[in-house]
Amino acid sequence: MFAKELRHAGHVRKFSIRDTGPNGWEVRDEQDNRVLKQVRYTDWHRVERALNMFNLQIDELESNGWSAAPIR
C-alpha cells in the first residue's frame, strides 16, 4: 500500500504500511535493519495519521540530503 526507502551516507531508512486483511494495517518504520516502530491499526484514521507523519519525516530527511532508493 505504501513503501518508501531512503539512503544517506551508508544508512537506510524504510517506511511502510501494508494491508493485513481482517487484521487491519501494519505500520513500520525501520532504520539500518532495526525496527523503530511497528504497530498494527484497525482504525483507518490512525493509518492516515501515520502516513501523514511518514510524509513529514520523509520530507525532512530529503531536505537533509537523504535520497529515495528503489524498494527491494
pTM for this predicted structure: 0.92
Q: Which helix (H) or strand (E) holds 8?
A: strand 2-8
Q: Classify burial at 6, counting beta carbons within 10 Å of its beta carbon; exposed 0-12, middle 13-18, buried 19 or more.
A: buried
Task: Kindly compute the dihedral angle of the four CA atoms of residues 43, 45, 47, 49, in this order, to the nearest 10 degrees.
Answer: -150
Three-state SS for 55? helix
Summarised one tens digit per residue, pLDDT across range 14-69 is 999 999 999 999 999 999 999 999 999 999 999 999 999 999 999 999 999 999 98
